[in-house]
Amino acid sequence: MCGIAGILSFDGAAVRLHEISTLTGRLRHRGPDAVGSWFSTNQRIGLGHTRLSILDTSPEAGQPMVSPSGHHVIVFNGEIYNFIEIAELLCAKGYVFRTQSDTEVLLHAWDCWGQAMFERLNGMWALAIYDTITGETALCRDRFGVKPLYFFNHARRFIFASEVQAIDRLLENKLSPDAEYLKTFSRFEISDRSYLSGVKALQPGFWSDLPTSSHED
């Protein structure tokens, strides 16, 4: 289990380290082994990750992970069961791996196949991949919704995290309970709502492209 988080700025205001640290601080119990952050050069996007080291415990397998070309950056929570088979396909296409992690496999798979990579994945995941050239951020959650991913969207910023309380903490605990949802909530229900108003869950099997105000400077 790991934690992922990020902030996308739509109005040009910089994303600050303390903001990402606030998100990851609330997710530390999900990944006690390491905490990482990454910011675009224009600071309009910041990504954070708390790591539970399992497959590859080396620092090189830490996150956020940047592709060798610098084209893509990923934060990922989950496990890809067939990552070895996918890595073999990518090796045949000329991709070179420096770690034994499924995170790096996802990074190269996205570079190779784009969104079509999700059709090849067998596993559970919640992830965000940022494109430093187009300025787009892709979010995706596994088909059965095993790994959580929540977001809060308003005119100026898009905030996402593995847990609702991380978003609430960043917003200074100003979000109010969604009373309607709490009255009708069932653990068997699939909903895009959460227990706090304005915070939504990315639906299982969904992926979305989110533009920022511009690509990297």
Q: In the structure, what pLDDT confidence band is assigned to residue 212 with cuts at 50, 70 and 90?
A: low
The phi, psi pair for 120, rounded to 5°, reads: -90, -15
Q: What is the mean pLDDT of residues 43-58?
A: 87
Residue 1 pLDDT: 79
Give percent above pLDDT 90 in the chain.
69
Q: Which residue has the higher pLDDT, 195 or 75?
A: 75
- Is the predicted pLDDT of residue 180 greater than 80, yes or no? no
- Is the predicted pLDDT of residue 214 greater than 50, yes or no? no
Residue 204 pLDDT: 87
Residue 19 pLDDT: 97
Residues 6+ apart with CB under 8 A from 93: 112
Q: Per DSSP, what are the bridge partners of residue 158?
A: 8, 153
Q: What is the mean pLDDT of residues 184-197?
A: 68
Residues 6+ apart with CB under 8 A from 173: none
For residue 32, what is the DSSP state? B
For residue 125, what is the DSSP state? E
| Tokens at 160, concatenated | 């996402």
Q: What is the mean pLDDT of residues 113-138?
A: 94
Hey, how many other C-beta atoms are within 10 angstroms of the C-beta on 187? 4
Q: In the structure, what pLDDT confidence band is assigned to residue 205 with cuts at 50, 70 and 90?
A: confident
Q: Catalytic: 140?
A: no
Q: Where are the beta strands (DSSP E) in 100-147?
A: 123-131, 136-141
Q: What's the whole-model pTM score?
A: 0.90
Q: Are 83 and 102 in contact (CB under 8 A)?
A: yes
- Is the predicted pLDDT of residue 66 greater than 70, yes or no? yes
Please tell me the distance from the alpha carbon of residue 59 to that of residue 78, in angstroms, as a whole number.
18
How far, in Å, are 70, 73, 83, 113, 165 from residue 162 at the CA level?
A: 25, 17, 22, 25, 9
- Is the predicted pLDDT of residue 216 greater than 60, yes or no? no
The phi, psi pair for 14, rounded to 5°, reads: -70, 145
Angle at 8 between CA 46 and CA 75, to 5 degrees: 50
- Is the predicted pLDDT of residue 68 greater than 80, yes or no? yes
Please tell me the distance from the alpha carbon of residue 213 to that of residue 10, in angstroms, as a whole number.
5
Residue tagged active-site, from 2, 91, 112, 140: 2
Q: What is the mean pLDDT of residues 106-116?
A: 95
Residue 80 pLDDT: 96
